[in-house]
Structure 1
Amino acid sequence: MAGATSTVTRQVTTAHSGPLPAPETLAGYDQVLPGAAERILCMAEKQQESRIVLEEAQLNADINHRNEMVANQRRVHTGAFISDYIGQALGFLVAAASLGFAAYAGIVKDNWVVAGLFLSLPVVGMIQAVRGMKSKPKDEKPNRD
């Protein structure tokens, strides 16, 4: 085979990752338009500054939101404790008043039926309080067979 020619093809692929072009590409921009590399660098710096400001604002907003959530949870817990204390104080007052009226009705007025009725009020309240303290499974569903 005389006169045969061969062709060699070579392909070069380059890759670059990052916010800025590769240095060779920047140099090419600068050759085409003098000062272009400087402008590209300034653009990247401004973008980075803007990104930092936005991330700081987002971080501060997240911190403020978490602080508000913690403050709300504290208010809810404080309200629950205050409500429990008020309920206990009122329950004590009702029980003490019932015992006082029972003693008055039984001893002074000699009416033991009324005294028994006044005594039944705190006893029923205590029974309900004890029954309410039993833990009930929350996920248990009623059986409908």
Structure 2
Amino acid sequence: MSSKKTPMEESEPDANLAITQQQDTDEESELNDIADKVAETLVHNPAVLERVMNDPGVISMVQHQTSMFQGPLPPPSMLADYENILPGAAERILALTEKEQGGRLSSRDTALKGEISKDTRGQWMGFVITFTVLIIASVFAWRGNTVFAGTLIAIDLIGLATVFVIGRQPKTKD
């Protein structure tokens, strides 16, 4: 028994390869012909395209959907998708949103308390200064220096009125 191959046996793989390549080329050519005929039919008859696009199988192959949302939470359908991909993800997203909202509310609450504290402190300081000036003016008036006492009171009242009027005007941004 000889292990030598005849020229016919050696050329068989090459022939098989050539046949396979020819079949691929024929198949591709046939697909191109079909695609051309479909495209031509759709261009000349748009009603066919409309009917094809109403087929659920075609819709699932062709449809591309983009969705957007604005706000702290995604819409329920998107939350369900997250949950399907990663169990527990929806709960984590809700917890994260609640934590972020709590932090935001805490910041606002702190800022509001600071504003109220500043206003209260300013009112008390204004009261103490006014009361002190009135006591000093009363002492000067009691000692007989009524012009100076009247001047102190007038300056005090003008200063208070100015502070309240200017302090209440909205601040403009540059």
Q: 2:144 — aligned with what?
A: 110
Distance in 1 between residues matched to 2:93 and 2:160, nearest whole Å: 53
Consecutive unaligned residues in structure 1, runs of 5 or more: 1-9, 18-46
Alignment equivalent of 1:79, drawn from 114, 120, 123: 114
**Corresponding letter in the other structure for 1:128:** T
Q: In the alignment, residue 94 of structure 1 is paired with which amino acid?
A: I
- Relative to the length of structure 1, the TM-score reads 0.54
The aligned counterpart of 2:133 is 98
Q: 1:136 to 1:80 in 2, by over 3 A?
A: closer
Cα 1:135–1:86 shift into 2, 3 Å: closer
- Assess, with a 3 A threshold, how the Cα gap between structure 1 residues 91 and 112 changes in structure 2: closer, same or farther: same
Report the 3-state secondary structure (helix = DSSP H, G, I; strand = E; otherwise coil) of the residue aligned with 1:94: helix
Give the deviation of 1:48 after TM superposition. Answer: 2.4
1:65 to 78, 100, 119: 100
In the alignment, which of 25, 39, 56 is matched to residue 91 of structure 2? 56
- Please state if 1:124 is matched with 2:158: yes
Q: Which has the higher helix share?
A: 2
What secondary structure, in the 3-state scheme, does the structure 1 residue paired with 2:88 have? helix
Q: CA deviation at 1:105?
A: 0.7
By how many angstroms is 1:130 displaced? 4.1
Q: What is the percentage of aligned positions where both structures have the same residue?
A: 16
* Residue 88 of structure 1, CA deviation: 0.6
Q: CA deviation at 1:114?
A: 3.0
Shift of 1:66: 0.6
1:25-40 mapped onto 2 (5 Å cutoff):
none
User: 1:101: Cα distance to partner?
Assistant: 0.5
Structure with more relative contact order (C-alpha pairs < 8 Å, separation 6 or more): 1
Structure 2 unmatched runs, 5+: 1-33, 36-51, 61-82
Report if the CA contact (8 A) 1:98-1:121 is conserved.
Answer: no
Larger Rg over CA atoms: 2
- Residues 1-48 of structure 1 deviation map (CA, whole Å, 9 limit, x = unaligned): xxxxxxxxx99x95585xxxxxxxxxxxxxxxxxxxxxxxxxxxxx82
